[in-house]
Chains A and B, each alone.
Chain A
Amino acid sequence: MVSREGQPEGEAERGEDGVDVTLIRAFLELSPAERLKQCARWAADIRAMRQALDGGADDGG
C-alpha cells in the first residue's frame, strides 16, 4: 500500500542499482488513475516544501 506521503509501509527492498523496488511494487498495485493522483500529491508535497524553504518560488514543474 502507498501511504498519503507516498511511502510504502514497512522496510524498503532495494535492487543492486539502488532502486526502491518496494515502492515500485506498491505503485504498480494502483490503477493508472490512482498513479496520476499519487504523482500529483507528491508534486504538491514537493512544491509545499520548496515554498516553505525559499519563500514561495515555484518553477511550475
Chain B
Amino acid sequence: MEASPLALLQALCHSEVKFILVGGLSAVLHGAPLVTQDVDIVPSRAPANLERLLAVLGELDAAYRTRPELRPGISHLASPGHQNLVTRHGWLDVLGTVGQGLGYEELISESEPVEVGAGLLVQVLSLERYIALKEALGGEKDRAMLPLLRRTLQEQRKPRG
C-alpha cells in the first residue's frame, strides 16, 4: 500500500464530507517540516455528514488497523472516540473529539481553509491550537515535537519579504 494523503483528502472532499484536518499533517501544511503520512480528521458528526463519510470509507476499503476484518459503522463514527483506520491510500484516523472533548463544532472557528493542491480546499486546524493540544497531551512523543512546532509558529509570524 502506497500512502497518499492527497488522494485521501481528495476522496473526502469530493464526497463533500465536512471535516477538519488535525494532527501532524495540519502542522505540515502550516509550515512545520515534519515527516508524516497519517491523515487525522475530526468530522462533523451531523447525521447526513456521517452517512457521506461512511460511504467514502467504504469506497476507500477502510478497516480498523488492529482488526482488519472489522469495518467502521455509523455508531462508531458518531462516537467521540478515535477510529484508527487503514485505507487503500494509507492510514486515516477519524477522531470524534480531540483534547478535552473538542469536536468539529468547537474547532471550526480555530481552523482555516488551505489549498492543498489543484483547487482542493481543506479545512485545517490552526497551528496555535495544534500546539495547545500537544501541550495538553504531555506524552513523550508530543513533548518532543513541541520545540519544532513552536519555532515554526514563531518563524511564521515574522514578516517575510
Residues of A within 8 A of B (CB): 6, 15, 17-21, 23-25, 27-28, 30-33, 35-40, 42-43, 46, 60-61
Interface class of chain B by DSSP: mixed
Which of the four size classes fits the interface of chain B? 20 to 34
Q: Indicate whether A32 sits within 8 Å of B29 (C-beta atoms), given known contacts A19-B151, A61-B91.
A: yes
Q: How far is the CB of B40 from chain A (nearest CB, A)?
A: 12
Given A33-B117, A36-B6, A60-B90, check contact A25 B155 (CB 8 Å).
yes
Q: Which of the residues A19, A32, A37, A61 comes within 8 Å of B147, measured between beta carbons?
A: A19
Once bound together, how far apart are the Cα atoms of A61 and B40, in whole Å? 12
Question: Across the two chains, which residue of chain B brings its CB closest to A39?
Answer: B28
Say yes or no: A27 contacts B31, CB within 8 Å: yes
Q: What are 25 A-to-B residue pairs whose CB atoms are below 8 Å?
A: A6-B33, A17-B147, A17-B150, A19-B148, A20-B33, A24-B32, A24-B155, A27-B31, A27-B32, A27-B152, A28-B31, A28-B160, A31-B115, A35-B28, A36-B6, A36-B29, A39-B25, A39-B28, A39-B33, A39-B35, A39-B36, A43-B3, A43-B36, A43-B37, A61-B38
Q: Is the CB of A27 within 8 A of B33?
A: yes
Q: Determine the distance from Cα of A47 to Cα of B138 in the docked complex, in whole angstroms.
A: 28
Q: State which of B3, B35, B114, B151 has its C-beta within 8 Å of the C-beta of A42.
A: B35
Majority SS at the chain A contact face: helix
Closest-by-CB residue of A relative to B90 is A60
Contacts of A60 in B (CB 8 A): 1, 3, 37, 65, 86, 90-91
